[in-house]
Structure 1
Amino acid sequence: MELRNNYRRYFNFLNYSLVKPHRINIVQMNNEIFKKHIEKEHIIKTRILKWLKNYDVILPYKRSLKNDHQYISITQEYCLNHIENDWNVTMQIILEKYPDYQKSIKKYLDNNNKIFLMNMFVSNRKFVDDYCSWLFDILFEVEKRISFSDDPYQKRDFGFISERLFTLYIFHNKLKVKELPLLFIKDYF
């Protein structure tokens, strides 16, 4: 098991006193603080293994999506901030390949504003294999059917789509989730 950086984001496995629930902490990091954190890696491994006996997956706290201070659904948020056609194509593909997801799309994407962002998780190999098989089966088909934007932000389309699909997958499969706060590292050495 190895702790990895995801755009300077880390799960906060150790010190919950730093964190208010459902918040992201921004931490000023230097070599000394980082070294102390890594020295506690055995504690982190022990906690992770214990959690995974009771939970299917460890995720960052889910977030609520808003636009102009009003809650909006995952579908609405995607269509407002990204390319709506890409979303529609993705939903069409899911319904073609996985028709049993139809009710879950309505419930968890069209009528829900809770989302697991960041594409970060810790789980066992079976979960990773099952999820990735499902996800990439969809994304490879999406890739065949959409046009890619010249906008550098929208070129990250598959990352944005996969965050939403991850949330759908978690809820549809009724997985037991352990939510943890994140640390965002402000200065990286």
Structure 2
Amino acid sequence: MARAEELPNKGITIGIAMHKPAPIPHGRTYLPIHVGAAIHPDVLTEIQQDNTGDNISELNPYYCELTALYWLWKNNDSDYKGLVHYRRLFATRSFFKGRGRHGDRLDRVIDDAELAQMLDKHSVIMPTKRYYVIETIHSHYVHTMYAEQVEVAETVLEHMAPQYMPEWKRLMKRRSSRFFNMMIMDREHFDAYCAWLFPILTEIARRLPPDQYEAFHARYPGRISEMLLNVWINHNNIKFGELPTVYTESINWWKKGTSFLKAKFLKKRYTGSF
């Protein structure tokens, strides 16, 4: 693990997956990455494109932010690498920072100095857990998405990495997990995780082609990877620090809550993001 004072020389890159213009946080650690640049090359021409070097940019409609993760894996040699989203980022642990009446939500984003302190203690950082309470990870997925997606993922995992199945089974029964494909890792862990993840996703997508679904549900490989990150972390007994997250746009909590209940009790799948 890096000492805080060593961080500027060691190097850290946190990719911000972006597909449209949005405010970005200050800090030399952040690298905005245009995901899906191979499909929409004219949208964000002033930032790093995910279709340079070794890339899977054309898979963005299915892999979502993972095309930025792959780009960082193959094309960035920072000693610490991470992934966040243009609307959801790691937040400071300070309760008061950015909470004033006129505070900007971007002011809640963790800055370079605080992040350096975290990396002084932890080589891996994950978001805090989110809780479903009345749903398990498995039941929530089959109520809101298509059951065959998680079923095929389980079959592939059992075939390609059977030693991870106990953790997968435990995760499916839990009512909480870490979501969003957000993480910060030293290069050793980051590269090891990507080398494990992407072959599994490739096989899942081969067996269950995403393009058979409409656009929202075609993104299922990106959602499955959120589960697989937890499985990989837990199976390998990775010690990590936790950070809260901040969502920089307004959330329609009524729509989000009622959709959650309709999915559970009325079997109405989600049709879009909130």
1:144 aligns to 2:223 (yes or no): no
Residues 102 and 91 (structure 1), Cα distance of their counterparts in 2 relative to 1, 3 Å cut: same
- Post-superposition offset of 1:171: 1.6
Say which SS state the counterpart of residue 117 (structure 1) adopts.
coil
1:22 — aligned with what?
A: none
1:181 aligns to 2:244 (yes or no): yes
Residues 136 and 28 (structure 1), Cα distance of their counterparts in 2 relative to 1, 3 Å cut: farther
CA distance in structure 1 between the aligned counterparts of 2:127 and 2:179, rounded to whole angstroms: 7
Deviations 1:70-94 (A, max 9, x none): 1x22122212211211211111111
- Post-superposition offset of 1:132: 0.7
Unaligned stretches of 5+ residues in structure 1: 20-24
Higher helix proportion, which one? 1
1:82 aligns to 2:161 (yes or no): no
Alignment equivalent of 1:133, drawn from 186, 195, 199: 195
RMSD over aligned CA atoms reads 2.9
1:155 aligns to 2:155 (yes or no): no
Matches within 5 A, 1:92-111: 92-107=155-170, 109-111=171-173
1:164 — aligned with what?
A: 227
CA distance in structure 2 between the aligned counterparts of 1:179 and 1:45, rounded to whole angstroms: 16
Say which SS state the counterpart of residue 100 (structure 1) adopts.
helix
- TM-score, normalised with respect to structure 1: 0.76
CA distance in structure 1 between the aligned counterparts of 2:172 and 2:249, rounded to whole angstroms: 34
Say which SS state the counterpart of residue 152 (structure 2) adopts.
helix
Alignment equivalent of 1:48, drawn from 103, 106, 115: 115
| Identical pairs, percent | 25
Deviations 1:103-141 (A, max 9, x none): 11222x222122111111111111110111111010010
Alignment equivalent of 2:129, drawn from 37, 45, 62: 62
Higher deviation after alignment, 47-56 or 124-133 = 47-56
Q: Is the 8 A contact 2:93 2:243 kept in 1?
A: no
Larger relative contact order (Cα-Cα within 8 Å, sequence gap ≥ 6): 1
- Post-superposition offset of 1:54: 2.7
- Post-superposition offset of 1:18: 5.0
- TM-score, normalised with respect to structure 2: 0.54
How many residues were matched structurally? 169
